[in-house]
Structures are given as structure tokens and as C-alpha cells.
Amino acid sequence: MQAKTIRIIGVPLDYGADRRGVDMGPSAIRYAGLHEKLRQVGHVVTDVGNLPVPVPESRTSPDTHLKYLDEIVKVSRILARTVEKAMMEDAFPLVLGGDHSIAIGTIAGLLRRQTRLGLLWFDAHGDYNTDRTSPSGNIHGMPVATSVGKGHEALMTAYHGHFVDPSKIVYIGVRTLDPPEAEALRSSGMTVFSMHEIDRYGMREVMRRAIDIVKADTDGVHCSFDIDALDPLYAPGSGTPYSGGLTDREAHLALELLAEGDVLTSMEMVEVNPILDEHNRTGELAANLIASALGHRII
């Protein structure tokens, strides 16, 4: 992999989910030695720190269909500008969450510089709900829908009219979907490699197909990695655990294959919850997975 200038952006946003604790995720990943791991690979690493995010206790959320809408929109706008600035300065944006609603701002910023974006979405869930279909009102279940221009208009204000082509979105590791979400995905034009396909074809073949899709006719590839893509046996520090997920080696292999092709132009790691973790196992795993995606090898 060619050496990169990596710009780390922390987003301690804890509004998009019901379970508290993901606001400490960026610190847990940094504490696990992320900077040194990336420097050992040969990258230049800069860290802009965490974006300002007020704690939920200082805010109220009157709309149960879109919890903390105003707060998430404000953070998304700031994050979009920060990501865009990193790309304008030829840096690789590496965003640390925080819950998965931060992807709304990350992708909005990327689209300002890469209008034909390929998107790899590692997740146990579909995140394809809207305010009309979400059973919880949690916005961390809506970023993919927002990225293609579906859902509440306020969530799309940072996008400036540019959205991701659904045919350039690939899911990896999905294993639980809300029924309306599953129905919408079937007609969305997106590619979904659930755990069934990974079991059936193997991670190497799944990643070969995924990379072919997101590379073709795009000007950048973003990897959005929710730590709950892994089985909770390997990643206990997740607020939405669901059994039957990726093993740690399957996840590493997937990201190592991305590094081999040097296809990524940005990445984010989300939903690490230190409150639910065991001695920062999940934070360390997240840091190691990022390192794998950015070129770390055993030998």
C-alpha cells in the first residue's frame, strides 16, 4: 500500500442509539495504540481530536420518530465540512465514532469531493430505515437510507443534492433486518452479502465481488465499519450485539484484501462501546482492524 497522510477525526456522538457509551469509542480506539500501528505501516498520522458534541443529558428529544434530530443534523454538518477539508488537503479521512449516525456527515463530506462514491458497509444491520419505517426512531438505523436520498429532509441538508448511487453500495455481514427494511433493500439495487453468502462462498470470494462493484466507475471507495458486524464473542463492546457474525479472522481478511488492492480513500469505525466491553478488547480489535485495512501485515 502506498503511504498516506491519515487525518483522524473523532466524533463522540451518542444520540443515534438507545444504549449509552459509544461517545467513549474514539478514546478507546486511540488508547489501543491506533496512531502507532498506522505509523509502523509507514503512514503519516495527524489527529484533529474530537468534534464538539454536547452530551445527551443536556438536550431533549421531543420527536420519538427521529430522536435528537436537530443535534445529529448539526454534528453532521460540522463533520461533513471537516471530512471535505481533509480531502481538499490530500489526506485520508479516518473517522472514529460514536454511533453509526455519524456516517450521515461522513458520506456527505465525501460526496462533495467524490460524486461517484463506492460504499462498503460492514454491519449486522441494514441501517436502511427512515422515520416512517423505524420501529425505534434511532437515527443510527438510517444512514444508508439518507446516503441515497431517502428519509427526512433535515437529515439530507448536508448532502447538497449529491447522493450515493445504490448500485455502488455493498453490504457485508448483514444478519438482522426489520421486515420493512428487508423489503426495501430487495428493490433498492444494492448488493447484500449476508452471513449466508459469506458462509456459502467464503470471505475471499465475497470481497472479490464486492471490490469489483465499488471500484467500477467510481472516484473513491469508503468503508463504513460497524463493530457489530463481528460476532459478540469477538466484539463484546457493542450496544447492538447479534450472534452469528463475522469471526475476527474473517473481518481481518476482508480488510486485508481491501489493503492489497489499495482501494480505500476513506474509512470510519463506529459503535465501539467501552461501557459494555471487557478490558478494551473491542477497542483493541477496532484499532487492529483499521490497521489491517491500511496495510498492516503479520510479515
Catalytic center residues? 100, 123, 125, 127, 140, 226, 228, 271
- Residues 160, 172, 2: CA angle, nearest 5 degrees: 75
Distance set, CA 227 to CA 78, 148, 159 (Å): 24, 22, 25
Instruction: Name 119's Cβ contacts closer than 8 Å, sequence gap at least 6.
Output: 107, 147, 164, 168, 169, 170, 214, 221, 222, 224
Output the nine-digit C-alpha cell for 72: 445529529
Please report where in the chains the cell 429532509 appears, as a residue.
153
> Cis omega before residue 98 (within 30°)?
yes
Contacts of 212 (CB under 8 A, 6+ apart): none
Residue 179's CB is within 10 A of a number of other CB atoms, namely 9
How many whole angstroms separate alpha carbon 292 and alpha carbon 296? 5
HSE-CB at 45 with a 13 A cutoff on CA atoms is 20
